[in-house]
Every structure is written in C-alpha cells, then in structure tokens.
Structure 1
Amino acid sequence: MSRLRGTLAGFFQQADLLLLGLCCLATLYGMALIASATRYMDTSGMIRYVGVQGVAMLLGIGAYIFMSMVDIEIVMRKWKWIVGFNVVFIGLLVTPLGVGGSTTGNQAWLKFPGIPFQIGPAEVVKITFTLLLAKQLEWLREEKRDLKSFHSAFLVAGHTLALMGWYVVISGDMGNALTFFFIFLCMSFVAGFALRWFALLLAGGGAAFVAAWVLDLIPPYMMDRFRVLFDHSYDSLGVGWQQSRSLLTIGAGGVLGQGYMNGTQTQSSYPQSLPNRWTDFIFSVCGEELGMIGCLLIILLLSAIIVRVLLVAKNSQTSFQCYVCVGVAAMLIYQTVINIGMCLFVMPTIGVTLPFFSYGGSSILTLYMAMGVVSGIKLRSPDMHRRGQIIGR
C-alpha cells in the first residue's frame, strides 16, 4: 500500500496535470453537448450515452495515470510483439467480433462481450503505430543512416503504407487509414527527411488518385463525397444531406447560439434533421446552441492540448520521445481539422470524430492513453532536461 501511495505521489508531483486537466475539461464539455444532442430521444437514451462517455472518461483517467507510469522506451524493446499485435488486432475485424458501421457499412469495430461500447482497432493502433514509427526513426538515426536517402524514406513509408493497406483491405475505412498517413508525414518531417521525398510522395499520391478517378476505380459513393464539396447542390437529398444540414445548423446559431438544449435542429425529434449529431456532427450541435463563441471554445481547448503535447516534444530528452509526442499531436490535428471541415462542408464525410468531444467510449479511452504516454515522457524529463532541444533537421 505504501508503495502505491508513493507511486501516486510521484505522479501528482511530476506528471502533466495541466494536460490531464485540459483533457477532462474538453471531455466534460463534450458530454454536455452529447446530453443535448441525445435529449430528443428520451431520458433513458440520453442517460445511456452520457453514462457510457462518463465511464469511458473515468477509465481513461486511470489509463492516463497508468501510462504515465510506464516507461515506453523499455516497452519498445519488444517492438516485434507490437508489430504482431497491430496485424492481429486489425485482423480481428474479419472474425465474428467484427461489427460494421451503421451508416457506412465499414467493418471497423469490434464488439467484446461485457464491454458497454464497441472498440475501434484503429483507435488503439494509432498509438502503437506512433510508437513503432518513432522507434524506427530513432533506429535510423542511431545507425547513422542518411535520412535524406531513398532507402530510409522507403523503409518508413513502406511501414506506413503496409499498415494502411492492411487496415483498408480489412475494414474499408479510409478516413482512419489516412490518420496513419498524416502521423507519418509529421513525424518524418520533424525527423529531417528530405523535402523532395514528401513532394514525390504527394505528387505520386495525387496522380494515383486522378488516375483512379478517371478509370472509375474509386467506389461511386466515395466519388460523390468529393463531387458534393465543389457543388453543394449535387445530390443534396442524398450524399450531401448530412453536410447541408450541418451547415444550416451551424449558421442558425449565429454568434451566441439559440441556447443550450434549445437548438431547432438539435432538438428535432426527426433523426435526419441533423444526422449523427452526437458523433460526427457534435461541432454542429455546439454551433447551433452555443454559437460561434461555443465553437471557438472547442477550438481553443483542442489547440491548448495540442500545444501542450508539442511543448513536451520540444523539451524531451531523446529523439524517440520527441517523435512520439509529435505523432500524438499529429493525430489530434488531423482529426480536429477533418471533423470541423466536415461540419463546415469543406471536407468530405469520412467518419472521423472530434477528439474528446464526439461520443465514443473507445475513442475517449485511447485518447487518454495517448495523453498518458505524453505525460510519462514529461515525467521522465523533470524541468525539461536539456531544455529547448528538439531532434530535427
């Protein structure tokens, strides 16, 4: 018992309590929005959604404390086991545990008996992938490999594309697969890879997309999601319906909003007035009921969390620690930009949730785990040893 007390005392003295506080504040704000977004169902439905989110938050805080105590550099000595975990965990989607999305049909969720929420393997693998990529980048530096060389770029890009390909083939979920790609771009840039490789990769990806479009290799529903971005009137009652309703909902809120639990679309008993209002379009709920001020508060909270993570990266002791923090920040940036862009009708609908705000037990739990990893890095570099050092170009 005394050892446990000592461990917890060490956590409260050195762990990143500010980061934990920001995460909790964002989650509580999100729970308030979820309560409003689900109120139109019935009281039991609202309590269930908010309750699951609350339980996930409490479990997340426990995971944050636990991950703060774990030395991930020691864990990564068993990196081969983590590679195997990524492959097998994603592969579980093709077993009876796999569950398809209610609207997209993507086989992107796992339902384990006794757990009150579904688990998205991508949410967990984002963390393990970030750790593995950081380890790979650190190894390349330690081996004194030229990070500007084609061989180094090929190794890192190959790792990323292999994981993305495996996940897309198994799940059909392109939205979360692109999260891996953005994490790779940010971490590789900080590590010092030559800009020409980024230009070549993006140009090649763009050319491949255009070719796939011209040759009709892209599924029709996905092509429509891009078409509607440039012509909002295109299939406005079909593929453009969700985002059209989202834009209408946000615009109706103005600067101060219509009032909490008083939004016209948010409180409508017709589900299609604002589809997926407690998940993908929680930002729209905020826009209608709390207005631009409420939306700016969401952006401010998420920006504060991202900046805090990057500050830990800036002051980390090792290249591995720096890369991990950058990868976590990249994950948050990608999801935030895509989700808000989706709600504002400037990004395609790809099922990416808003971190800490959208409903999702596995999302909340894994976000706190990721933040706990960052906290653990700060805990092992008190007062930011070798202040100001960042591994890079």
Structure 2
Amino acid sequence: MLAKRSLPRVSWKFWVKPWHQVDLLLFCLPIALTIFGGIMIRSTELNQGLTDWWWHWLMGGIGLIIALFIARSRYENLIHLHWITYGITNFSLIAVMVVGQSAKGAQRWINIAGIAVQPSEFAKLGLIITLAALLHKRTASNLDNVFRALAITAVPWGLVFLQPDLATSLVFGSIVLGMLYWANAHPGWLILLISPIIAGILFSISWPLSEQPIVLFNQLSLTALGLIWSATMGLVGFLTLPRKQNVIGGIGAIALNLLGGELGIFAWNHVLKEYQKNRLTVFMNPEHDPLNAGYHLIQSRIAIGAGEWWGWGLFKGPMTQLNFVPEQHTDFIFSAVGEEFGFIGCLVVLVIFCFICQRLLHVAQTAKDNFGSLVAAGVLSMIVFQMIVNIGMTVGLAPVAGIPLPWMSYGRSAMLTNFIALGLVESVANFRQRQKY
C-alpha cells in the first residue's frame, strides 16, 4: 500500500512575507482613527437615523484592502506611468466640470454606480506621484526645476480652483511646497513663492475687528505692514537667489508682492462675494456675524469648551446630541471629540496624528531612492496640512475651509484617498533595503 502523503504545512511567515517590512504602527494608527471616527460620526447622528458611520467604516475597510494590495506592489513602477497618471488626473478634473454634479455652489462630484465620487481628492495622489517622478532625478536645487514643477502643478490646481474648490487647491499648494522643500529647494525660494498671496491678504482684507474692545490692527496699519512685507521679500530675494539674478530678483520680489497686493484688492472688491469674505475673516471675530458666517465657529468652540478635561462621555454631549454644530460629522468632527471626550480625548487624537506624521517622516528618510522618499514627503505634507487646518478651524484659529480631518471626517472619496496614500507609503517602506543589525 502506498503511504499517505501529508500536505506541507504552511507557516504563518508565508502569509506575512509580502509585507515583511511594512511599518506596522503606520498601518494600525490610521485604522484606529477610522474606527474612532465612525464612533464619533455615529454620535453626531444618533437621533437622526442616518447611516454615515456605517459607510465610513465600509469605505475604510475597502481602503485598507486597497492599501494592503498597494503595499505589496512595487512603487517604482509608477515612475514609468507618471505621465499617464497626470493625464488621468487632469481628464477626471475636466470631466467633473462637464458632467459633474453641483452642490453647495460647486461642481465637484461625478456619479458612478450611484456613488458620488470627488475626483479632486484623488487628484492629490496624481499630483504627488507626478511631482515625485519629476523631482527624483532633477531635484529642486535650481530654479529651472522649481518652475518646471510649478508649471506641472498649475494645470490640476487651476482645474480644481475653477470648480470652485478653494480648500482642495490649498492642499495642492501644501503638497507642492512640501515636496519642493524635500527636493532641496531653498527655503527662501518657497517663501518668495507664497509671499504675493500674503501681500494680497495684508493689502486687501478688512478684518472684522471693529467690535473688539482693543483694535490690534486697522486698515492703515495693515497696508503699512504689507509694504514692510514687500520690502522684506525683496531682501529675501536678494539674499537667496543666485548671484547673477539676486539684484533683479530682489526688485522683482518687491514688484510681485505689490502686484499681489493690487490683485488682492481687486479680488476683494470685485470678485469675492460678501459671504465668501465673511467666511475668510470671521474666525478673527465670530461674534461679528453670529447667526451666519460665525455660527459654525461659535457652536464648535462652545462644544469643545463644554467638554472641559474629560468630556461628557460618549453619546452624552448636549451640543452634539442636539445637533447644534452644523456639518459635525464631516468638517467639525473634532468638536464632537472635544465635547464628549474633553481635553484629554483631543490630546490623544493629536498625539496619534503626531505619531503618524513621525512614521511618515521616518519612511521618507529611510526610502531606498528619491522617488519613494518624495512620495512619502508628499503624503506627509498632505496629511499635516489637512490636520492643522481642520483642527485650527474647529477651535477658531483658522478660516472655515471645508477641509476634512484625515480618517475621521465622513467622506468616501477622502477616505479612499487617504488609504491609497497610506498604501503608497507602505510600499516605499516594504521595498526599502533590508536593514542589517
């Protein structure tokens, strides 16, 4: 009789080997935020019978599966596909302007199989991949490569801005600045890039401070500050630009800032509508318009302050349960954390985000090539900017920009984008050179 053959035993290492060098903490922390975010969304909708919390977890699960698949795929292949990625990115942004759905004054969504998809969210990833492919050989240590990267960014940025989606266009700006810095661009050049925007703000915006007990600035002093800023940028241009261009560059920096100021005044007086102006400036004094533009900020600050140290407890926050904070399940989810888990709960969330950013930075520093390092740096720039702006607006330190909190705010396209970005970074970590001990 023939002896029975036993099937070979498959070791658990066989199953984990494809992900043997992934950053486990970088996977676990976003998963924890996704689970906690679903719980908080459930709390904001407890008395409304909505199921956004379930969709939040479902999209998080789908995103995690995609991230695991990407993590075991070689990220280097994207270098050869970056122009295809760039073309698809721009095509999707054009398509949403032609056949997209409009909501809240913007045309940002395409209906696919009954699900609203926001191409501008996925365009962030397209921009990161394209810039990483361009800068991995030609670094930003000279101005030609910097302008080349800016020209590539200008097309998707302009398409997003025209939707109009100012919040996402700001995220694009943070991505390109962060990646240029990581690609060895001089910090002074990056300051010069954003300086005309700051000049435009200083020269044009009339801050709603007139009802404050002490007026820190008036329009005259802001104009003087704008002139000082322009002169300072001239000095920065003179000191940081190449020698043959420093004099012309310094004069040009002053001229660009003064032009930025004039354009800011024109946009403020003739382009922006009154509600848009209020939305940009009301965070300085929400009580200036408490029933309209300042309502979100006032309610959010009350909810966070009511939580004190330890909060009211899950499903017990009065502001959250009575729906006093508009859009609390999306842009203002952090206010629910503050009310129901207090200062300690907010601190824990911030610490988790800090650990995520630290792990992203570690992957960027230990990547085996410039392309992988730049991909990780781009994702880091995206996450950091969205976190700072979202939390800043909920506590009244930034304008209400409509930027979601990564992995916690409800948003199906945003959730998939964040997990795909996580998968890309994990692929960089997974295929870096094996560390020797």
TM-score normalised by L of structure 2: 0.79
**Which portions of structure 1, spanning 4 or more consecutive aligned residues, are displaced by more than 4 angstroms?**
5-8
User: Which whole-Å deviations, capped at 9, do the CAs of 1:215-265 have from their partners, x for residues lacking one?
Assistant: 213333221122212222221111111111101111111011111101111
Give the match for residue 137 of structure 2.
Answer: 139
CA distance in 2, matches of 1:376, 1:39: 38
Q: Which moved more, 1:23-32 or 1:221-230?
A: 221-230
Alignment of 1:216-295 (within 5 A): 216=269, 217-268=271-322, 271=323, 273-295=324-346
Deviation at 1:7, TM superposition (A): 7.8
Give the fraction of aligned pairs with identical amino acids, expressed as a percent: 27
Matched, 1:360 2:414: no
Give the match for residue 75 of structure 2.
Answer: 72
CA distance in 2, matches of 1:7, 1:129: 35
Match of 1:50 among 44, 49, 53: 53
CA distance in 2, matches of 1:275, 1:213: 30
Matched, 1:14 2:21: yes
Contact 1:35–1:49 under 8 Å retained in 2: yes
Matched, 1:61 2:67: no
Deviation at 1:194, TM superposition (A): 2.1
SS in structure 1 at match of 2:319: coil
CA distance in 2, matches of 1:232, 1:360: 26
User: Which whole-Å deviations, capped at 9, do the CAs of 1:52-84 have from their partners, x for residues lacking one?
Assistant: 112111101111111112222212202221111
TM-score normalised by L of structure 1: 0.88
Matched, 1:119 2:117: yes
Contact 2:286–2:295 under 8 Å retained in 1: no
In structure 2, relative to structure 1, the CA distance for the partners of 1:59 and 1:373 (3 Å cut) is same
RMSD, aligned CA: 2.1
Match of 1:178 among 162, 170, 174: 170
Deviation at 1:6, TM superposition (A): 8.9
Matched, 1:327 2:330: no
CA distance in 1, matches of 2:410, 2:373: 30
Q: Which moved more, 1:348-357 or 1:151-160?
A: 151-160
SS in structure 1 at match of 2:288: coil
SS in structure 2 at match of 1:108: strand
SS in structure 2 at match of 1:259: coil
SS in structure 2 at match of 1:275: coil
SS in structure 1 at match of 2:318: coil
Q: Structure 2: which amino acid aligns with 1:27? A: T
CA distance in 1, matches of 2:432, 2:419: 20
Contact 1:378–1:384 under 8 Å retained in 2: no
Number of aligned residue pairs: 366
In structure 2, relative to structure 1, the CA distance for the partners of 1:26 and 1:63 (3 Å cut) is same
Deviation at 1:196, TM superposition (A): 3.1
In structure 2, relative to structure 1, the CA distance for the partners of 1:331 and 1:194 (3 Å cut) is same
Give the match for residue 39 of structure 1.
Answer: 46
Contact 1:335–1:355 under 8 Å retained in 2: yes
Contact 2:41–2:410 under 8 Å retained in 1: yes
Higher CA-based Rg = 2
